[in-house]
Amino acid sequence: MTGPAVFHPEAADEFADAVAWYERQQLGLGDGFEDAVYGGVDRIVERPLAWPVWVGYAPARVFNLQRFPFRLVYTHGDGVLVIAVAHMKRRPGYWASRL
């Protein structure tokens, strides 16, 4: 990653769980998911204001991954804090207490 970015501990767990799940589905797919997340984080770090504020959950912003049905929910200040690696179709807003 290029620049200051940190994963909330629960987001780091979600990320690791999703990587493992994809890897169990198909060898190498977990690596693809990992690359997609890190690529998304790199883009967020480069331009943290480029993605929309999640309505009702400000100051959280959201970056949707292209290849996988996940979004990165993050906040920014001195750096980027990824507060969730969230599946798009499961439990919307479950991460709000992390704000």
Per domain, the residue ranges of the chain are: 5-89
pLDDT in tens, 22-48: 999 999 999 999 999 999 999 999 999
Task: Please give the pLDDT value at position 1.
Answer: 39
Residue pair 43/73 in contact by the 8 Å Cβ criterion: no
pLDDT at 93: 84
What is the C-alpha to C-alpha distance for residues 39 and 55, in angstroms, rounded to an integer? 24
Residues of the chain scoring pLDDT < 50: 1-2
Domain spanning 5-89, CATH architecture: 2-Layer Sandwich (3.30)
